[in-house]
Structure 1
Amino acid sequence: MNNKPTLYYVYDPMCSWCWGFKPTWNRIEEQLKDKVDIQYVVGGLAADSDEPMPMLMRDQIASYWKKIENLLGTQFNYDFWTANTPRRSTYPSCRAMLIARGEGREKAMLNAVQTAYYLQAKNPSDVSVLADCAESIGLDRAAFIDAIESQETQSKLVDELQFARSIGGNSFPSLFLQTESGVRELAVDYQQSQITVDRVNELV
C-alpha cells in the first residue's frame, strides 16, 4: 500500500508566475519525487472567452511579465502582444493538460504550451495552437481536437477546478502537502527551492 504524502502543484498553463517559477519547481520536484507523490492540478485562471482582451488588461499583464523578468530573469517574447489578438481565456489550455495527462504526457504538454506562449509568441487560447502543441509531443491531432471539445473533458475540468478550490488553490502557483493529518498550504518561494524542500521534509 502506498502511504506516501501527496504534494499538489496547482498551476495554470498560461500563468506567467508559473512560468517564472518553473526552474525552481523543477528543482523541488527532482528533490522530492521519491519522498512524496507529486500531483499536478490545473487551476483555471480565466474562463472561456472569445472577447479580445482590453488594452488596459494587456498592458497590466505585460507589466507582470516585466516584473517577473526583472525579479527572476525569466524570458518572455513580447511580440505576443502584437502578433495575436489576446483573450482572457485559459480554460482551453487547462483542458489540454487534462487530455495530455490521460496519455501520461502532462508535463510535456505544459512545456510545449509555455514555450509556444512565452517564447514563440503564439496564443494558447486558440485550439489550433494547442493542437500544434499536442502534435509536437506525439499526440494524435484529430483525436486531441475531438477531446478538447468534448463534454467529457469539460466535466473533468469542472471537477478539477472544484478540487483545486477545495484545498485552497485560488492563486497560481500554489503548493499543498497532504499527509495523514490533512492538507497544508506551503509558502511558494520563487527563487530558493531548498526552502520548500526543507519544509516538506519537516512535515513528512
Structure 2
Amino acid sequence: METTPANLPELLYIHDPLCGWCYGMSPNINQLQQDFAGRVDVSVLCGGMVTGEDVGPIAETWDYLKQALGDVERTTGVEFGAAFRELGAAGEYTYNSEPPSRAITAFRQITQDPARTVAFAHAVQAALFRDGQDLNNPTAYNELLLPFGVDVVEFQRRWAAPETARATQQEFAAVARIGVEGLPTAIVRIGEQGYVLARGYQPYQQLRAGLEQLLQQEGA
C-alpha cells in the first residue's frame, strides 16, 4: 500500500479575491497544483487588500481598475466579463475584501482541504470578475459550492459566525507579518526555510521552472 510522504514542501499562494492580477495568476497556481501533485502541497491565503478605510464604492477606483483590466487580459489571458464591467460602470458596488475572504475561510474550515480551497478561491474571483456577482451577498456563494459538494446551510452558518470573521482578520494579520509587498505572491516552504517563488504575476512556465529548480536545489 502506497503512502503519501509526510511534510511535503508547501506552495503558499497569497492573493485577494478583489485583485485582478490574482485572478490572472490563479489558473497558473491551479495548474501547478495538478502538475506537482504528490510533490508539493498548495494552499491559499487572503491578503486583505481592500479593508478598513479603503472599503467604499467601486466608483472611487473604477477609472484605475478599468485601465488595468486590459493590461491583465493581455498579459495573463483571462477575461473580465461584461457583467463585471457593467458593475464597475454603475459605480455602486461596495469594494470590500472581507466578505469574500470570509467565504474562503468558511470553505476551508468546512472541508479541511487546502487543495480544494485553492480551486474555490478562484471560483470566487470568477464570480466577480467574469459574472459580476455581488460577493458581499452570502447567497452569491450557494451556486459556487455545488461542484464541491459543500452543504449550503452549514456554509451560511459559518460565513455569518463571528469566529469566522475573527479567523479572517487573523489571516490578514498573518499575511501582513510575512511582509508581503504586493499581490499575488507565491512562497515555497521547504522544511524550516521559505523562498519567494513569485512577486506579482508570473506566466505558468516561469512558475513551473522556478518551482522545479527550488525542489531540486533543496533535494525535495
- State TM-score, norm by structure 1: 0.84
**How has the CA–CA distance of structure 1 residues 3 and 113 changed in structure 2, closer, same or farther, with 3 Å as cutoff?**
closer
Indicate the percent of aligned positions where both proteins have the same amino acid: 22
Give the match for residue 129 of structure 2: 118
- State the shift of 1:142 in Å: 3.3
**Gap regions ≥5 residues in structure 1:** none
Matched, 1:169 2:169: no
- In the TM superposition, what is the alpha-carbon distance from 1:96 to its structure 2 partner? 0.6
Query: 1:149/1:187 Cα in 2 relative to 1: closer, same or farther (>3 Å)?
Result: same
**Residue 27 of structure 1, CA deviation:** 2.6
The ranges of structure 1 where at least 4 consecutive aligned residues each deviate by more than 4 angstroms after the TM superposition are none
Deviations 1:107-130 (A, max 9, x none): 342243122112212222332323
Letter in 2 for 1:97: I
Partner-residue secondary structure (3-state), 2:45: strand
RMSD: 2.5
Aligned partners of 1:80 and 1:123 also within 8 Å? no
Q: Offset of 1:100 from its aligned partner?
A: 0.9
Are residue 71 (structure 1) and residue 75 (structure 2) matched?
A: yes
Give the equivalent residue in structure 2 for 1:190.
202
Counterpart-to-counterpart distance in 1, 2:11 and 2:179: 13
Letter in 1 for 2:178: I
> Which residue number in structure 2 is paired with residue 159 of structure 1?
170
Q: Distance in 1 between matches of 2:212 and 2:147?
A: 36
User: SS of the residue aligned with 1:8?
Assistant: strand
**2:107 is aligned with what amino acid?**
A
| Offset, 1:67 | 0.6
1:63-108 per-residue CA deviation (whole Å, 9 max, x = no partner) reads 2111111222211114324246322201111111111112234234
Give yes or no for the alignment of 1:99 onto 2:106. Answer: yes
Q: What is the CA–CA distance in structure 1 between the aligned matches of 2:30 and 2:147, rounded to whole Å? A: 21
Whether the aligned pair in 1 keeps the contact of 2:23 and 2:126 (CA below 8 Å) is no
Query: Would you say 1:58 and 2:62 are equivalent positions?
Result: yes
